[in-house]
Amino acid sequence: MSASQFSTKQRILGAAEALFAQHGFAGASLRQVTTAANVNLAAVNYHFGSKDNLIEAVFRRRLDALNARRHAALAKVESKPDATLEDALDAFIRPALELALDRRGGAAFMRMLARAYAEHDERLRRFLSDNYGHVLREFAVVFHRKLPGLTKDELYWRLDLVAGALTYTMADFGLIKRRAGTSETAHREYTIEHLLRFAAAGLRAP
Amino acid sequence: MSASQFSTKQRILGAAEALFAQHGFAGASLRQVTTAANVNLAAVNYHFGSKDNLIEAVFRRRLDALNARRHAALAKVESKPDATLEDALDAFIRPALELALDRRGGAAFMRMLARAYAEHDERLRRFLSDNYGHVLREFAVVFHRKLPGLTKDELYWRLDLVAGALTYTMADFGLIKRRAGTSETAHREYTIEHLLRFAAAGLRAP
DNA sequence: CTATCCTTCAAACGTTCGTTTGATTCAGAG
DNA sequence: CTCTGAATCAAACGAACGTTTGAAGGATAG
C-alpha cells in the first residue's frame, strides 16, 4: 500500500519539482525529495540513475507537452496568410501561460524554470537546446520574417531577453491570486494581452 | 606579501561575487571562494563570521551605493514640478544600469542579484527589505502619485514584476558585447531608453 | 508449489561541506 | 628589546551530501 494514488516515479517528480522551485537544484537534497515523496532514498537512483537525470526528467515531463502545443499553435498561425507578429507571439506565450496556471504544480514548475534561466548553467542549457531548440528555432524563423530589418544576431538576443522576461514574469504570475469575481479565463486573457504587448514592443524596438 | 593590491576582505568579496553569480549561493563553496581569492579557508569565518554573513556583505558592498544614488536621483526628480513617470523610472533604472556596466564585477553582481530575485529566499528577501526597502517605498509613493487609478495592491505587484524583469534583463545586458563603433555612453542611453519604454508601458497598462 | 523479475528497504560508502581550533607569523607600541 | 593583538595558517571536526550495496518483499508466470 503506497501513500498516494501516484506511482513512486510520479511522486518523486512532483516532490522534486516543488523542492527545486523552492531551494534550487543544488539547495534541495535527495533526502528532502524522497522524504517529501514518502519513498526510500535509493528510489531516485533506482528509477532515474542520478540527481542530474532526475532534474532532466522533471523538465521533460512538462516541456514535452509545452513544445508540442507551441509547435501546433505556430503551425496554425502559419496556415493563415495574414498572420501578424502578435499572432506568432500568442502561439509562443499562450501554451506557457496555461502551463503556469495549471493547478497541479504548474506554478512550481514555472518558478523552477525561471531559476534555471537565471542560472545560465551550461549543462542545463545544452540539454534544453538539444531537446527543445528546434521548436524555438521555428519561432525564430517566423519572427525573423515578421521583423525584416533586424539582423540575425539582434533578433536572437532580443528573443533571449524577451523569453527570459516572460519566463520570470510568468513564474510570479503563478503566485498572484486573481481578483475576486474574475473568471480564470478572463484572468488568463488579461495576462496574455499584457505580456503580448510588452513582447511585441520589445521585439519591434528600433 | 599578498597576491594582490587588495586586502583579504576585498579579495574574498570579489571572488565570492563572481562565484555566487556563476554557481549560486548553495552551489559555490567557501573552498572555491578562498582558493580563487588566494586566501586561507578560515579567512572567511574570521572576517565575516559565516557564509550567510559573507553573502550579505557581498550585497551590501554594492547596494549601499546603488540605493544612495537612486535616492539622490529621485530627490532631484521630485524637486521639479513637471516631472513625469518616465523621469521617476529613469531615477530607478539609470543607477542600476550604470552598476551593471561597471567594469569591476558589475556584471557578475547583476547576475547574482537576478539569481537572488529568482530564488525567492525568505531570509534574503527580509535582509534586502530591511536594509533597502525604504528607498523602494519612496519610489512606490512617487509612482503611485503618477499613476492614479491604480490600487495599492495592483501597483505593488506591477512594481515587483517590472523590477524583476528589469533585473533579469540587466543581468544579461552585462553579457552582451555592444556593437563596434558605438560608444559606451551611446550604448547605455540606447539601453535605458529601451528599458524605460517597456517599464512605463507595463505600469500604465489598463 | 517454485522461480523470476521488478521494486523497496536499511545501511553503509567515500566525498565535500561550513565551521572551529590552536599554533604561528608579524608589525607596532611601550 | 619585549609585549600585545590582529591576521594567517594547516589541520581537524561533525554533519550532510550523492551514490552504491545486498538482502528482503511481493506480484506474476509456469
**Could you tell me the CATH number of the domain that includes residue A45?**
1.10.10.60
Q: Which residues of B touch A176 (CB under 8 A)?
A: 157
Range B16-24 average pLDDT: 95
Q: How far apart are CA A98 and CA B204, in angstroms?
A: 25
Return the closest-CA partner of residue A45 out of A28, A26, A60, A31. Answer: A31
**A17 shares its domain with A83:** no
**Could you tell me the CATH number of the domain that includes residue B200?**
1.10.357.10
Sorting pLDDT into bands at 50, 70 and 90, what band is A178?
Answer: low
**A40 shares its domain with A121:** no
Range A88-113 average pLDDT: 92
Q: How far is A2 from chain B (nearest CA, A)?
A: 32
pLDDT computed for residue B56 by the predictor: 96
The closest CB to that of B201, out of A157, A161, A198, belongs to: A198
Q: Which residues of B touch A22 (CB under 8 A)?
A: 120
**B62 shares its domain with B20:** no
Q: Which residues of A touch B22 (CB under 8 A)?
A: 120
Q: How far is A165 from chain B (nearest CA, A)?
A: 5
The distance (Å) linking the CA of A2 with the C1' of D15 is 31
Residues 6+ apart with CB under 8 A from A46: none
Q: pTM of the predicted model, to two decimals?
A: 0.87
Kindly list the distances between the CA atom of residue A22 and the CA atoms of A18, A57, A111, in Å, as whole numbers in the listed order.
Answer: 6, 18, 8
| ipTM, two decimals | 0.85
DSSP A165: H
Q: Residue A95 above 80 pLDDT?
A: yes
**B33 shares its domain with B65:** no
Q: From the CA atom positions of chain B, what is the Rg in Å?
A: 18
pLDDT tens digits, one per residue of B146-182 = 999 889 888 887 888 788 888 888 887 766 656 666 7
Strand D nucleotides, any atom under 7 Å from protein beta carbons: they are 7-12, 16-22
**B149 shares its domain with B168:** yes
Q: Per the CB < 8 Å rule, is B165 touching A165? A: yes
Sorting pLDDT into bands at 50, 70 and 90, what band is A24?
Answer: very high
Domain boundary among A49, A73, A89: A49
**A71 shares its domain with A27:** no
**Closest alpha carbon within chain A to B173:** A161
Q: How far is A26 from chain B (nearest CA, A)?
A: 6
Q: Residue B2 above 50 pLDDT?
A: no
Provide φ and ψ at B195, rounded to 5°: -65, -40
The distance (Å) linking the CA of B46 with the C1' of D5 is 15
Q: Residue A1 above 60 pLDDT?
A: no
Range of the domain at A172: 58-204
Q: How far apart are CA B72 and CA B81, in angstroms?
A: 16
Q: Residue B117 above 90 pLDDT?
A: no
The closest CB to that of B119, out of A24, A165, A205, belongs to: A24
The total number of structural domains in chain A stands at 2
pLDDT tens digits, one per residue of A167-177 = 888 887 766 65
Range A180-196 average pLDDT: 77
pLDDT computed for residue A153 by the predictor: 85
Q: How far apart are CA A131 and CA A56, in angstroms?
A: 10
**B77 shares its domain with B172:** yes
Provide φ and ψ at B15, rounded to 5°: -65, -40
CA dihedral of B117, B122, B123, B128, whole degrees rounded to 10: 50
Percent of chain A with pLDDT over 70: 93
**A75 shares its domain with A138:** yes
Q: Residue B125 above 60 pLDDT?
A: yes
The better pLDDT of the pair A33, B165 is held by: A33
**B19 shares its domain with B119:** no
**B63 shares its domain with B144:** yes
Q: Which residues of A touch B24 (CB under 8 A)?
A: 24, 26-27, 119
Q: Give residue for cell 572555491.
A: B32
User: Which span out of A78-87, A112-121, B170-179 was modeled with the highest average pLDDT?
Assistant: A78-87
Return the closest-CA partner of residue B13 out of B66, B43, B101. Answer: B43
**B22 shares its domain with B118:** no
**A29 shares its domain with A108:** no
